[in-house]
Amino acid sequence: MAKVQLLGNKADGYHLTVDGEPFFIKGAGLEFGHLKSLAEAGGNAFRTWRVANGERDAIDILDEADALGLKVCMGLDIARERHGFDYSDQDAVTAQNEEMMRDVVRLKDHPALLMWGLGNELNLRAKNDGVWDAIEDLALRIKEADPDHPVTTMLAGIDSPTVSAIAKRAPSLDFLSFQIYGEIDQLPAILEKVGYDGPYQVTEWGPTGHWESPETHWKRPFEPSSTQKANDIARRYQEIILADSKCCLGAYIFLWGQKQERTPTWYGMFLEAGERTAAVDVMQKAWTGEWPAQRAPEIQSLRLNDQEAPASVEGITNQVFRAEVDAADKDDHLISWRVREEVPAALQSDGGDFEPTPPTIEAVIGTQNRQFNFQLSEPGEYRLFCQIDTPYNSSAVANIPFLIKPEPQKRTRFFNLFRRSAA
């Protein structure tokens, strides 16, 4: 068992120790994914959202983490009000906390355990502050059973009512954990505004979120390219996370893996087939001081009909579209193109919940090079993806949304066939 402590004070600052040694979290949101690549990139910790995912159990993931020298922020999957859980139902709350405690007792002595994460974004669209009473009860019970690991909860964003409610109702939490994306650039100002000057960790951060990004006039967000994301991530880590040496305990970048959320490429640092993007490279550089031997490619720009984001690109059915990508000249790079439908509004996820991956349009004509011509026969909302691959299992990706409208019906011209004869 590893003994983890939160030490320090407001005057001198805070830090974690593991078995007496200082421990700054160089982490990622990973869940039950590829731990070896995280360790190889210089990470020292990761977080999960639950203790089992139907394929792997927490003991399995903790054992692997320990073998790789990684620590685990173990998530306890506490029900969210936005999913229908009623925190006024004391019997349901009691049953839930008892279930959580069974896992705590089962896992608490594992040497890879770093801390307990109680729920994920329980504040998102929540109205009943009774959730924090439930968290306080659970935190107290965990501390009694396991005094050697800190207890926290992961919040969606940072706002004064939530911070105040937790301070009042759940004071037994050791510190707060924040999940913040584009707004992380204003993190110091936000913390000052809400009046929080205690220790914290950032449990989700990375690219600018889809809800924060510019949109087309039909309300589809523009996704930054993998190159833009990597640049933002590198800057945010240095200027925000590392800059707060007094209160920040470290951070977990999101996501060390791949998922569908508005697009299949927005948050994942890897692609569907496992290719790493430049986000992995910049985190390795930040954590170790060294770049990988072979860096991921870069995309400078993506244009569709001579327009690039944030232009709202439109066309009509059967119109020929012309796409072009600018990237570094490398003979060993393969460029491929794909057109996907957009996720229908009714199927869009909330708070990172499951979202179906939109289908690829197969009947697209074109060639696999820097220019790509295609046409679509059905109106709708689409997104064009460009991917640049290397032989080193790394890739760059960019995309742009576009709208196809029905081709206007041709008007028949009628002529007056009956001319008035001359008098």
Res 363: pLDDT: 58
- Sign, CA torsion 211/346/218/327: positive
Show pLDDT as tens, one digit a residue, over the chain (423 residues). Answer: 889 999 999 999 999 999 999 999 999 999 888 999 999 999 999 999 999 888 889 999 999 999 999 999 999 999 999 999 999 999 999 999 999 999 999 999 999 999 999 999 999 999 999 999 999 999 999 999 999 999 999 999 999 999 999 999 999 999 999 999 999 999 999 999 999 999 999 999 999 999 999 999 999 999 999 999 999 999 999 999 999 999 999 999 999 999 999 999 999 999 999 999 999 999 999 999 999 999 999 999 999 999 999 999 999 999 999 999 998 766 668 999 999 999 998 989 888 888 999 999 875 656 668 899 999 999 999 999 999 999 999 999 999 999 999 988 765 554 444 444 443
Res 414: pLDDT: 46
Instruction: Reduce the DSSP state of residue 182 to 3 states and report it.
Output: helix
Res 138: pLDDT: 98
- How far are the Cα atoms of 93, 131, 192, 294, 409 from residue 81, in angstroms, in the given order? 12, 8, 28, 46, 50
Note whether 79 and 94 are within 8 A (CB): no
Note whether 301 and 325 are within 8 A (CB): yes
Res 365: pLDDT: 59
pTM attached to this predicted model: 0.93
Cα–Cα distance measured from residue 79 to residue 32, given in angstroms and rounded to the nearest whole number: 20
Note whether 199 and 246 are within 8 A (CB): no
- Sign, CA torsion 96/97/98/103: positive
Q: What domains are defined for the chain?
A: 4-288 (3.20.20.80), 299-405 (2.60.40.10)
On the 0-12 / 13-18 / 19+ scale of CB atoms within 10 A, 353 is exposed
